[in-house]
Amino acid sequence: MDKPCFELKGSLFTLSVLQLFDHDLSHLEEQLQERIKMAPGFFNHTPFVIDLHLLPDDQHDIDFVALKELLLSLSMIPVGVKGADKSLRARLEAAGLATLAEAKHKIAAEKNSKEPHLDQEQKQIPETESTINSEQENLSDAAIDTTLSTTHNTAKIIRQTVRSGQQVYAPKGDLVVIGSVSAGAELLADGNIHVYGTLRGRALAGVRGDQSASIFCHSLQAELSSIAGIYLLSDDLPEDKIGNSVQIYLENEKIRIESI
């Protein structure tokens, strides 16, 4: 018998959600372009789920083909739609978009919410097996210690500055940088991120949906800070926290920054 060339698995993945409040695609394009200018790396070739739950019932007549083409033109990758009723499924299939099911109690809770969620948040949904890309360009082996074990997780330690264009990912644990993080660099961790220097680049903690994760740094100047996919851009940083030693964490699905 020939050796199997594939295997089907179920898994959980964290995907960004584009929450729609209006079906005006020209307005959507304008606002997305503004966000992309502030954090291009966050959107570039990032898979997104389109959420229709908070879209008014009279605005569900969306041109999904045009919506998909718009997102692709902005280097965003739409993979599916949630919150769509059965009448839309044929149009979604024609546009090449998956229909994603969700627990009924969660749908009801979102529809009854008076305050809309942030338009970019991370959700865990079943998908096929994959891994997060993690390149470590020009980082020497001596600068990386990947085997510091604790009772609960494993920490990856980087013993030098992470420079522009470099990306470092710590799976199943924390990421510790003994140095600074340059603008244009990116840190990702399933757990916490610790930067014993200036954080100028992007830091994404809890990338697989851990809302208890935190980011710690000695000097906050980050281009983007994200916990479990809920993010804060540099323009939104409180002035009294810029340049200070801080902890960044989630509270009630909102980013909080506390001096330490």
CATH number, span 141-259: 2.160.20.70
The CATH label, of 3.10.180.10, 3.30.457.10, 3.30.70.260, 3.40.50.300, for the domain at 11-127 is 3.30.70.260
Tens of each residue's pLDDT in the chain, 260 residues: 578 888 877 665 657 788 899 989 999 999 999 878 766 767 778 888 999 988 887 777 889 999 999 999 999 999 999 888 888 889 999 999 999 876 443 444 444 443 333 333 333 333 322 333 333 444 554 455 544 433 345 789 999 999 988 889 898 899 999 999 999 899 999 999 999 999 999 999 998 889 999 999 999 999 999 998 888 888 889 999 999 999 999 998 899 999 99
Give the global pTM: 0.52
Domain limits, the chain: 11-127, 141-259
The answer to whether the CB of 43 falls within 8 A of the CB of 76 is: yes
Order of all β-strands in the sheet with 154-158 = 144-149, 154-158, 175-177, 193-199, 215-220, 246-251, 254-259
Q: Is 125 in contact with 11 (CB distance < 8 Å)? A: no
